[in-house]
């Protein structure tokens, strides 16, 4: 039984890492705001919501490439 568990573990490990993985391309949006003020906090939330909406619709298509967005503050 112990050998079977070990064999299944290694088999699942090999299968998981043999599958092709596609690296996603990102556009990073810098958010310059102060999170201490209510205006800055709400601006950060608005930018985060916009990033989530863009990614939910499939990202941004530039030529033949598709990019997803992410925010950084």
**pLDDT, tens digit, for every residue of 8-60?**
766 666 566 665 555 678 888 888 888 888 888 898 889 899 999 999 998 88
C-alpha distance from residue 61 to each of 13, 15, 24, 67 (Å) = 34, 31, 12, 6
What are the structural domain ranges in the chain?
22-72
Question: What's the pTM value of the predicted model, to 2 decimals?
Answer: 0.59
For strands 25-30 and 60-62, give the pairing.
unpaired
């Amino acid at each position: 039984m112990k050998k079977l568990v070990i064999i299944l573990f290694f088999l699942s490990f090999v299968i998981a890492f043999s599958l092709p993985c596609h690296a996603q391309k990102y556009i990073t949006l810098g958010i310059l705001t102060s999170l201490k003020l209510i205006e800055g906090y709400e601006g950060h939330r608005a930018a985060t919501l916009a990033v989530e909406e863009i990614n939910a619709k499939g990202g941004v298509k530039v030529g033949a490439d598709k990019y997803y967005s992410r925010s950084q503050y």
